[in-house]
Structure 1
Amino acid sequence: MATEPLTIGRRIRHFRTQAGLTLDALGEQAGAAPSQLSQIENGRREPRLSLLQRVADALGVPLTDLLTDDAPTPRDALEIELERAQRRPLYATLGLPSVKVSQKLPMPVLESLVGLHGELARRESESIATPEQARRANTAVRLGMQARDNHLAEIEDVAEEMVRRAGYEGGALTHRMVTVMAQQLGFELVHVGDLPPTTRTVTDLENRRIYLPSSSIPGGHGLRSLALQAIAHRVLEHARPASYEAFLGQRNEINYFAAACLMPRFVAGPWLEARKHDRDLAIEDLRDAFGVTHEAAARRFTNLATVVLGIRCHFLRVQEDGSLYRGYENDGFLLRADVTGAIEGQPVCRWFGARTAFTSHDRTTEWYQYTDTPAGTFWCSTQAGATASGDFTVTVGVPFAQSKWFRGRDTTARRTSTCPDDACCRRPPDAVSARWAEASWPSARMRRQTFGPLPTGAFPGVDQTDVYDFLTRHAPDDGVRRPASSG
C-alpha cells in the first residue's frame, strides 16, 4: 500500500464525519471493532485492503478516495505533519511529551507547532552536515541500494516510458531525444557559459528552462547525463531535501534515472543476456554499444547484473593513492569500512585488480585478474583512466563461479589478499620497518574535507546568491510571469 497509514486514517475520519457516523456506527456497517477503526484513523494501524473496501462502501465513497496521498483538508494536512514530526527520532531526543493531536487543538496552536518542528528539522539538517554525518548518510543510501541489488524497478519503468515516447529504439540515446524528453515536460534546454561555479545545472521553474554547461568531455555523455539528471528531479517529483541523507538519496535517484535512460533496461537487458549466453560479457562492449563512459557502463552493469542476469557482483572506483572513491557489492567481496560504516576513502588492498592495474603494461585495455581472499576467490575486470585530478581505475568483479560468463576469464594473473588483515599490505615487513622507522619523515597530503564541514543550505554546497543572480540575468525579459511548477 503506497499511501501512508496516517493519511488514510485522516481521510476515513473526514468522510466519516461528513457522513455523520460515529466509530460504532461505521464499525457495525464495515464489520470492524470501533477500537480498530480508531487506531486506523490515528495512523497507528495499517488497514488491510479488504477492510478498506468495506469502509469505503459504508461511507459511500470510491476506494480510491481513501488511498489518495492528499490530506482531505488543510487542517488535516497540519495534523498529519505534526504527527509525523513527533514520531521522528529528532523529537524523541528532546525528551519532551507529545502533544495530543485532536480536533480540539486550536488552529493557531497547530500552525505554530508545525512551524516550530519545521525550523527544528531545518536547523538539525544544517548542523549535521559534517564529514562524519555525511559518511553515515552515504552509508545508509549505499546499504539501501545493496538490499535492493542496486536495482530500482520503479525508476526503470519511468525511464523506459520516457525514452520510448522520445522515439528511442536502441543504441546510443541522442542529444535530440534528450531535448524531446525535456520538451514533453514543458522545459527548454539552454546551454550557457556562466553557470554558477557551485552548480552543475540550474532549473528555472518559472520560465521552464534547464540551464546546462556549453560543453562537456569530447566523446563522453556528460551533457546528456546532466540534462537527464535535471529532468529526473521533475519526473520523480522531488521536494526540497529536508536532510543531508534525503539530498544524497535524491542524487542517487537522478543518477540512476540518467543511467536507465542512457542504457534502458528493455534494450540493455536483452543485450547483456545475449552476451552472457555467448559467455562474452565485457564492460567495454556495453560502454561502446550505448556511447557512455567506462565508469557509467560499469555502474549500470551492477544495476542489471543480479536482477536480469542472476549474477552477484562488486564495483570499485579507486584513486591513484589506493583509496576507494566509490564502491558497491552484493557478492560478499570484503571492503574496509570506518566506524561509521563508510567504505569511501578507505585503502584498497594493493593486491586487488583495482590497484595492480595501475602497474599493468597496457592501460588502454582492460586488466583481468583472479584474487584469492578470505571471502573466496573473485575474478575482476579493471580499466584505468585519468582526470585532471589524477589517475583512477574502474573495476567490476564477480565470484569465481560467475567468471565463466565473462571475456577475460582465461587470464593467468592471480594474486592473494588477506585484507582487511593489516599484515597483508598495510604493515611493512619487519626488516624494512627497522631500516626506515626512525630514518624517515614524510609530509602527508591533507585532504581538503578532513576538517571542513560540508556547506549548508537547502541544496548543500550551492551558493544561492549566485544562483538567483544567474536566473535574474537569464530570465526572459518579456514582461510575462510564468507560474512556478514542480512538474
Structure 2
Amino acid sequence: MAPESTPALSAAELDRLLIGKRLRHFRTNAGLTLDQLGERVGVVASQLSLIENGRREPKLGLLQAIARELELDPSELLKPEPPDHRSALEIELERAQSAPAYTRLKLPHVRAPRTLSDDTLEALVGLHRELARRSRAAAATSEEARRANTAIRLKMRERDNYIHEIELIASDLMRRIGHTAGAVTHREVAVLAELLGFTLIFVDDLPSNTRSITDLANGRIYLPPASIPGGHGLRSLALQAMAHRVLGHQEPASYAEFLEQRMQINYFAAACLIPEARAVEFLQQAKRNRNLAIEDLRDAFGVTHEAAAHRFTNLATRHLDLRVHHYRADGEGVLVRGYENDGLPFPSDSSGSIEGEVLCHKWGGRTAFDRTNRTSEFYQYTDTPVGTFWSSVQTGDAELGPFAISCGVPFDDARWFRGRDTQVRAVSTCPDPTCCRTPSRALLERWKGKAWPSARMHAHVLAPLPTGTFPGVDDTEMYAFLSRHAPES
C-alpha cells in the first residue's frame, strides 16, 4: 500500500512558516531556549514551538512582546525573506511540495526536521528545481504558448479588455505623485519609482533579450539610454518594470503565467500614461462632438499610436458603450496581436489562435499600404460575412519592417468617429479561398506550372520557443550585468 500523502500547505500556512523560521532564528541567536523566551513573554514553550513550526498564527501583541525581548523591531519578524540559507531551503521545499504538479503525484509530504542534514535538504530541493525546470521546458512549446495567448485574449474579451483592479492601482499612484494634467513626464515616472523604493539608472550594456532589469536587492531599475525601436518609450519600460512589484508578481512558474504577467504590466503602464479619469473625460467629449480619433488620444497624452489604440479598447466598451476591434499586422499582413469584442472575424487556426495568421487582402490593415501618402490615418469600411466594419489604420516602419495599427467598430457606430465619411469600401468573403487567396482564371492559365519561387524562410518557423525562468533571458549574462553595476558594499 502506498503511504498516505500529507495535504499541501496553503499560502497562509507558508506565510506562517516563514514567520516561525524568523522567530526561531532570532531566538537562537539571542541564546534563549523556548522555555526561557516563553517565561519572559508569558506563554508556555509548547505554544512558541507551534508558532515556530508554522502551525499557529501569532497574535500581534505576542509578536511585539517577543520583539522587545529579542531587542528587535517587530517588522524584523514579518519580513518576507528567510533568515538564513537553511530556512530558505526548508521553505522552498515546502513550496515545491505544495505546487499542483507535486500534489497531483500523491506522494508523501517530506518534512525537514533539524535532524535532516543540509546535504540531504539541498539534494531534495535541487531535484524539485530540476523537475520544475523540465516541466516548464516541456510546457513551453509553440503550441502551448499559442494556446495560453488565446486563453488570455478570450478572458480579456469577456471583461471587455478592462481590468478594474489595475485601473484603481494606477489611478492611486498617479494621484500620489501629483500628476493632474498633460502627458506624464520622465520626471514624474522617476518620482513614482522613488515612491516605490527604486532608482532609475540608464545604461548602454543591458544584456541581449532584456528591455530592462530590476535589481531588487539594491532598489535599482536599469533601462537603455534611449527609446528602443518599436514604440517602447523609456516611460513605458520603467512603468512596466515597476508593475511587477506593484502587482505582486512572483517568478513565473509557466509560460502561460509569463504571458499573463506581461499583459498585466503593459496594462498598468498604459493606465499610468493615459489615466482613466482624464482619458474618459477626453473621449466622452470627443464622442459628443462625433469626432473620436485615435490620433487625438495619442497626441493628448504623448504616447505612441499603438498605445493609444490599445488604451482606447480598454475604455471604449466600459465608458463609451462602444464595442471595438484593434490589431497590429506586419507589412505582409501577418497578425502580430489582436483584440475584438465587436465580432470582427479574425482569421484563426483550429485552436482559436490568431497570432501568425494572415489577414484578408481586402482588410484595412493591408489596403492602407497601397497609399502613396501614409502619414495620416487611413479610413475604410469593410463588408465581411458577419457584417460591415469601419476602421482607422495608421501605418509605420520599425526595425523589423513596416506595420499597421488598426482600430475600428461595427458600421452603426462609425457615426461617432472622424473619418466616417470615407468613400473607401471593400468586400471581404474570407475565409472563402476565392476571396483573395485563389488567383484569377487568367493568371492561372498564364502561369500555373511555369513558376518556381525560392521562398524566404521565416526565422520563427524553426526557432524554438525561448526557455528559462524569464523566457529568452540568459541568467548568466543577467547576473554578470548586475554584478558589474551593483553598488559596492
TM-score bracket for the superposition, by shorter chain length: 0.7 to 0.9
Deviation, 1:455, is: 2.3
428, 431, 434: which one aligns with 1:417 = 428
- C-alpha contact (below 8 Å) 1:10/1:76 kept by paired residues: no
Deviation, 1:266, is: 1.3
306, 323, 326: which one aligns with 1:312 = 323
Secondary structure in 1 aligned to 2:361? Answer: coil
Secondary structure in 1 aligned to 2:450? Answer: coil
- C-alpha contact (below 8 Å) 1:7/1:80 kept by paired residues: no
Q: Distance in 2 between matches of 1:233 and 1:341?
A: 29
Deviation, 1:295, is: 0.7
Q: Distance in 2 between matches of 1:139 and 1:163?
A: 31
Counterpart residue identity of residue 100, structure 2:
A
Deviation, 1:340, is: 3.1
What is the correspondence of 1:121-200 to structure 2 with a 5 Å cutoff? 121-200=132-211
Question: Partner of 1:85 in structure 2?
Answer: 100
Deviation, 1:86, is: 5.4
Q: Distance in 1 between matches of 2:394 and 2:271?
A: 22
442, 449, 459: which one aligns with 2:460 = 449
Q: Structure 1 residues 409 and 330, CA, compared in 2 at 3 Å: closer, same or farther?
A: same
Secondary structure in 2 aligned to 1:395? Answer: strand
393, 396, 399: which one aligns with 1:388 = 399
Deviation, 1:429, is: 1.6
- C-alpha contact (below 8 Å) 2:92/2:125 kept by paired residues: no
Report the count of equivalent residues.
Answer: 411
- C-alpha contact (below 8 Å) 2:10/2:98 kept by paired residues: no
Question: Partner of 1:283 in structure 2?
Answer: 294
- C-alpha contact (below 8 Å) 2:206/2:481 kept by paired residues: yes
Q: Structure 1 residues 223 and 80, CA, compared in 2 at 3 Å: closer, same or farther?
A: closer
Counterpart residue identity of residue 132, structure 1:
E
Secondary structure in 1 aligned to 2:297? Answer: helix
Q: Distance in 1 between matches of 2:201 and 2:128?
A: 39
Q: Distance in 2 between matches of 1:305 and 1:417?
A: 26
Q: Distance in 1 between matches of 2:391 and 2:230?
A: 26
Q: Structure 1 residues 213 and 9, CA, compared in 2 at 3 Å: closer, same or farther?
A: closer
- C-alpha contact (below 8 Å) 1:131/1:450 kept by paired residues: no
432, 445, 449: which one aligns with 1:438 = 449
Q: Distance in 1 between matches of 2:11 and 2:401?
A: 53
Q: Distance in 1 between matches of 2:203 and 2:210?
A: 12
- C-alpha contact (below 8 Å) 1:313/1:396 kept by paired residues: yes
Q: Structure 1 residues 462 and 76, CA, compared in 2 at 3 Å: closer, same or farther?
A: closer
What is the correspondence of 1:476-487 to structure 2 with a 5 Å cutoff? 476-477=487-488, 480=489
Question: Partner of 1:28 in structure 2?
Answer: none
Deviation, 1:360, is: 2.2
- C-alpha contact (below 8 Å) 1:335/1:420 kept by paired residues: no
- C-alpha contact (below 8 Å) 2:230/2:399 kept by paired residues: no
- C-alpha contact (below 8 Å) 1:82/1:113 kept by paired residues: no
Q: Distance in 1 between matches of 2:384 and 2:218?
A: 56
Question: Partner of 2:29 in structure 1?
Answer: none
List per-residue Cα deviations over 1:343-372 (Å, max 9, x = no partner). Answer: 111110111111111112421111111111
Deviation, 1:84, is: 4.7
Q: Distance in 1 between matches of 2:98 and 2:487?
A: 43
Question: Partner of 2:383 in structure 1?
Answer: 372
List per-residue Cα deviations over 1:13-49 (Å, max 9, x = no partner). Answer: 99xxxxxxxxxxxxxxxxxxxxxxxxxxxxxxxxxxx
405, 409, 415: which one aligns with 1:398 = 409
Deviation, 1:127, is: 2.3
- C-alpha contact (below 8 Å) 1:315/1:394 kept by paired residues: yes
Q: Structure 1 residues 116 and 149, CA, compared in 2 at 3 Å: closer, same or farther?
A: farther
* Long gaps (5+) in structure 1: 15-58, 63-69, 481-487
Q: Structure 1 residues 224 and 413, CA, compared in 2 at 3 Å: closer, same or farther?
A: same
**Aligned-CA RMSD value:** 3.1
Secondary structure in 1 aligned to 2:375? Answer: coil
Q: Structure 1 residues 327 and 418, CA, compared in 2 at 3 Å: closer, same or farther?
A: same
Q: Structure 1 residues 304 and 128, CA, compared in 2 at 3 Å: closer, same or farther?
A: same
Counterpart residue identity of residue 438, structure 1:
G
Secondary structure in 2 aligned to 1:407? Answer: coil
Q: Distance in 1 between matches of 2:9 and 2:160?
A: 30
Q: Is 1:273 the equivalent of 2:284? A: yes
Range with bigger deviation, 178-187 or 77-86: 77-86
* Long gaps (5+) in structure 2: 1-7, 18-56, 61-79, 81-86
Q: Distance in 1 between matches of 2:228 and 2:143?
A: 33
Q: Distance in 2 between matches of 1:300 and 1:383?
A: 15
Counterpart residue identity of residue 85, structure 1:
P
What is the correspondence of 1:461-476 to structure 2 with a 5 Å cutoff? 461-476=472-487
Secondary structure in 1 aligned to 2:484? Answer: helix
Q: Percent identity?
A: 55
Q: Is 1:120 the equivalent of 2:131? A: yes
227, 242, 261: which one aligns with 1:231 = 242
Q: Distance in 1 between matches of 2:195 and 2:187?
A: 12
310, 328, 333: which one aligns with 1:322 = 333
Q: Distance in 2 between matches of 1:390 and 1:174?
A: 29
List per-residue Cα deviations over 1:416-464 (Å, max 9, x = no partner). Answer: 1011111111111233123222011111121111112122111110111
Q: Structure 1 residues 187 and 218, CA, compared in 2 at 3 Å: closer, same or farther?
A: same
Q: Structure 1 residues 212 and 127, CA, compared in 2 at 3 Å: closer, same or farther?
A: same
Counterpart residue identity of residue 213, structure 2:
V
TM-score, length-normalised on structure 1? 0.77
Question: Partner of 2:48 in structure 1?
Answer: none
Deviation, 1:9, is: 9.4
- C-alpha contact (below 8 Å) 1:263/1:300 kept by paired residues: yes
Counterpart residue identity of residue 167, structure 2:
E
Question: Partner of 2:355 in structure 1?
Answer: 344
